[in-house]
Structure 1
Amino acid sequence: MHNEMMRRPVIKPAVLNFLREQTTQLTGPLGELEKKAHQDGVPVIPHETVTFMQTLFNLQKPQTVLEVGTAIGFSASLFATCMGPKGRVTSIDRYPLMLEHAHENIAQLGLEDQITLLAGDAADILPTLTPSYAVIFMDSAKAKYLDFLPDCLRLLADDGVLLIDDVLQGGTVFDDDATIAHKNKAIHRKLNLLLTQVFSDTTLVATLLPLGDGVLMITKK
């Protein structure tokens, strides 16, 4: 469950410390869930991404969110909390153990009515969903992001925001392929193809944010 890239920040330590320790912290049960996840090394979104999401949701005011990659349900719970009781989150995950933890955490937070968990492979589930979602958050197998992109763009509202997490591989994504460990070569190649495709697509507007291990933010023109 541990993610080595979480220990390899792409910005200076002093900046990272401020973003994680000095900005507004989550409180209550959601704050406790975030704290425990970080203590246990569970790969949830880091706090700098949390505060960015809070700001984005405050501006965008979405009411429908699609998440690819539930993990323990922390980010889905954050989204539901940001949206308020009328907001709805649909989250997909293929791992039974993660979904079990997510169900427990979501129930403890009292968010069962707002969050729908779908068990299975996103490659099978995404084509069955219908538009549209105001925010889509991809935080799953990085080698699959490029495969999921067409369906996510199809499902995204015209004025929606697509966010793809962990695209920098600890800052190594732009390194020469020959320097990449064999186990990471497929991810390295697929992430570079993803970035090339997104930034060359004239129908999209994209930016790369140095939050956590990198967040790719995409909107439609």
Structure 2
Amino acid sequence: MNKPSQAKVLLSRVARRKVKTNQRLLEVARQLFSEKGIYWAKVEDITEAADLGKGTFYKYFDSKETIIRVLLEEGLGELLLRTEQAVKDASSDAKVLAAVIGARVDFFLAYPDYLFIFHQIRGLMQLQVDAAKGLREVYDNHLRRLAQLIRPAMGSGGVADVRDLASAIAAYTSGLLTYHVLFEGHEAVKRRRDYFVRVLERSLRSLLKTGNGSRNLA
């Protein structure tokens, strides 16, 4: 078997170093955005906490807005993976809604940083509509896939109803958890995990019965 050339070994090391640096910047940014807020945390704060030069940041991300979008894509991507698995594991269509809610609650309890970052990004999309266009596209793609996953729980509901329910699931879950984590603390909310899943499922099933969409909740 031929040994890898020195150039290939060096390239492999460089590639690994780049991946490691990219991940380090994302991890630090996620923590700082959660602690200080996406409005107040600066690129300088990220590079200082990561022990990297400011120029290094711009080799990986064009701006603070770019790293916010990447974090949003990564977070929502992981959330969808967990949701997809929960739907596969659901024993019947009637269990899909509870499975989806449970997956979202578990995600935010496992990654509380994302709970606060997503909350801030939704505010950013309202305050800076033009600048946040890319973020809105990421959210729209997420809701479109979530709507596909919850379709079995809708019965005879139409496409618009499915999208409304997906939006309501996203809003209700993160909104309720954000409030309680802020005022009760993360550990207290973790201990009441099943309670929050039941409350959310009951609220969303009431929404299904009345036929009110999330457009009325905005």
TM class by smaller structure:
under 0.3
TM-score (norm 1): 0.27
Higher helix share: 2
Higher strand share: 1
TM-score (norm 2): 0.28
